[in-house]
Amino acid sequence: MEKNGEANNMFRWKENPATLLPYTPPEWAAHLNGSPTVRIKLFQPMTPIHLWKIPGIPEDVELYIKRDDMTGAAMTGNKVRKLEFLLAEAVEMKCNAVITCGAVLSNHCRTTAVAAGILGLEAHLLLRSKMKNPEDIVPRGNVLLNRLVGAQQYLIPNEANLDTEIVPRMQILAKQLSEIRKIKSYLIPVGKPSTIAVQGYLWAWQELLDQGIQERFDDIIVTIATGENAAGLAIGNYLTGSKLKIHAYAVCYDAKTFHSHINSTLDILGLGDTIQSEDIINIIEGYQGDGYGLSTPHEIDFIRKVATTTGILLDPTYTGKAASGLSHDLTYDRSKFKGNRILFIHTGGIFGLYDGRMTNILSETRDDQSQMRVWMDLDEDPLPASPEKSTPNGHQFQPNPITLNHHFNGGINIGLT
Ligand SMILES: Cc1ncc(COP(=O)(O)O)c(C=O)c1O
């Protein structure tokens, strides 16, 4: 076990979760600026890859899914990969609190809050919202989990600028925590290129190589919002000469903005003179739907169909939009893909399913296959009398009955991550 390096993955009874472990980057990434030297163990690596037969894609496409939604339970998704490095730095610096920011329904903030709870750190979350009154924010989805793990949440303006309004707030909070409570804070200002944050998916690239994807796939699909995942994968693909094509489905911003973010990341890693974002990643626009954090009935229906046919739960803000775009492109715009062996990275976010959007739509959908039936009387038959109306395996779809245009929280733009 020890010889194969598997001992690292094993639960060790005596280990404090905040134990710092030495980290050596993969050889191909060793020359990059700012590589971390320590990590802590927060998630289950080697998330599974399996065949994923979503409805409506051409027969000759081999679609697979990498289950990064299985990195953990409350820490499901992509964000925990970078937190292994960021929070290791916090522990190494002997901080007692972590301050970060995101949208009110941020997956990053929720994952940070849960991880901080495990490590015995306080979590302070600056949450962007159009709402000014905390009473109006129903504790559900990620906000519910933040509350459960005792994170301190602060509502800040939705349009707050990172450099001029959010980072200064973080600094003021850190100063007050230090002066009043003698607590040292670690700051994670999301939205700026960071050498450490991109490490999560650089290391994930090594995991993908270890899983044999190099020969097995032609194209990799990921969702892009800040660009950290996509940058990690695209840089890994480039530095290892893997020659897969990396596509990132945008859920906010435009391709130009993303390329400029990723080019800044390449600069700080020391690769700016060698490669450009445009050369290593294909940003796909056009599937933002009604906007960031908003769901159209079509998107919600797609999530439902995928769940019904494959048992995989996509989230409404990120992976649902990306997978729906992918399904469309595989049918109508195949030329953008290098081949027909496609790997979709599921980056988690499923607590977005519990934030109200899905509930609203399903409760107004009358002929939903999975609607609950009344069966109080043992003598009654559980199935409808007419055979053509019954769909025992739930795999036959009726036309989408949804006509209402649902916006979560009345069309609020909930900002990033
Ligand atoms: C579930 C989920 N998928 C994808 C993304 C996009 O990742 P990135 O911000 O690294 O572009 C995010 C966060 O922004 C996310 O929460």
Contact 128, 215 (CB under 8 A): no
What percentage of the chain exceeds 90 in pLDDT?
79
Q: Which atom of ligand 1 is nearest to the CA of 77?
A: 1
Residue 167 CA to ligand 1 center (angstroms) comes to: 21
- Where helices occur in 211-347 by DSSP H, the ranges are 213-216, 228-239, 255-269, 277-280, 297-310, 319-332
Average pLDDT over all residues of the chain: 89
**Structure confidence at residue 379 as a pLDDT band (50, 70, 90):** very high
Residue 386 CA to ligand 1 center (angstroms) comes to: 45
Residue 223 CA to ligand 1 center (angstroms) comes to: 6
Residue 417 CA to ligand 1 center (angstroms) comes to: 6
Distance CA 257, CA 265 (A): 13
Of 196, 263, 189, nearest to 227 (Cα)? 263
Choice from 226, 351, 353 to test ligand 1 binding pocket (greatest atom count within 8 A of CB): 226
Per residue in 130-167, pLDDT (tens digit) is 999 999 999 999 999 999 999 999 999 999 999 999 99
CA 247 to chain CA centroid, nearest Å: 15
**Structure confidence at residue 233 as a pLDDT band (50, 70, 90):** very high
- pTM equals 0.90
301 vs 412, higher pLDDT: 301
pLDDT of residue 150: 98
Per residue in 59-102, pLDDT (tens digit) is 999 999 999 999 999 999 999 999 999 999 999 999 999 999 99
Of 71, 15, 61, nearest to 40 (Cα)? 15
Where along the chain do the CATH 3.40.50.1100 domains lie? 7-78+194-352, 80-188
pLDDT of residue 14: 66
Distance CA 415, CA 87 (A): 24
Q: Which atom of ligand 1 is nearest to the CA of 222?
A: 4
- Which of the residue ranges 64-78, 215-229, 378-392 would you say has the lowest mean pLDDT? 378-392
pLDDT of residue 362: 73
Per residue in 357-366, pLDDT (tens digit) is 788 777 776 6
What percentage of the chain exceeds 70 in pLDDT?
88
Residue 219 CA to ligand 1 center (angstroms) comes to: 19
Asked if pLDDT for residue 406 goes beyond 50, the answer is no
Q: For the domain 80-188, what is the CATH code?
A: 3.40.50.1100
Asked if pLDDT for residue 106 goes beyond 60, the answer is yes
Residue 392 corresponds to which tokens in the numbers above? Answer: 């025992």
Choice from 318, 321, 345 to test ligand 1 binding pocket (greatest atom count within 8 A of CB): 318
pLDDT of residue 363: 74
Residue whose CA lies nearest to ligand 1 atom number 14: 417
Residue whose CA lies nearest to ligand 1 atom number 3: 347
Choice from 104, 107, 277, 351 to test ligand 1 binding pocket (greatest atom count within 8 A of CB): 107
Residue 233 CA to ligand 1 center (angstroms) comes to: 13
**Structure confidence at residue 411 as a pLDDT band (50, 70, 90):** very low
Distance CA 102, CA 183 (A): 22
Asked if pLDDT for residue 246 goes beyond 50, the answer is yes
Per residue in 181-215, pLDDT (tens digit) is 999 999 999 988 899 999 999 999 999 999 999 99
20 CB burial (10 A radius; 0-12, 13-18, 19+): middle
Choice from 66, 114, 224, 229 to test ligand 1 binding pocket (greatest atom count within 8 A of CB): 229
Per residue in 250-291, pLDDT (tens digit) is 999 999 999 999 999 999 999 999 999 999 999 999 999 999
Per residue in 308-318, pLDDT (tens digit) is 999 999 999 99
Q: Which amino acid is at 372?
A: M
Q: Which atom of ligand 1 is nearest to the CA of 352?
A: 1
CA 39 to chain CA centroid, nearest Å: 20
Residue 416 CA to ligand 1 center (angstroms) comes to: 9
Asked if pLDDT for residue 412 goes beyond 50, the answer is no
Neighbouring residues of 319: CB distance < 8 A, sequence distance ≥ 6? 69, 223, 346, 347, 348, 349
Q: Which of 35, 106, 277, 327 is catalytic?
A: 106
Q: Which atom of ligand 1 is nearest to the CA of 251?
A: 6
**Assigned architecture for domain 7-78+194-352:** 3-Layer(aba) Sandwich (3.40)
Per residue in 35-51, pLDDT (tens digit) is 999 999 999 999 999 99
Residue whose CA lies nearest to ligand 1 atom number 16: 107
363 is catalytic: no
- Ligand 1 neighbours, Cβ below 6 Å, are 77-78, 107, 223-230, 315, 318-319, 347-349, 417
Residue whose CA lies nearest to ligand 1 atom number 13: 417
Asked if pLDDT for residue 338 goes beyond 50, the answer is yes
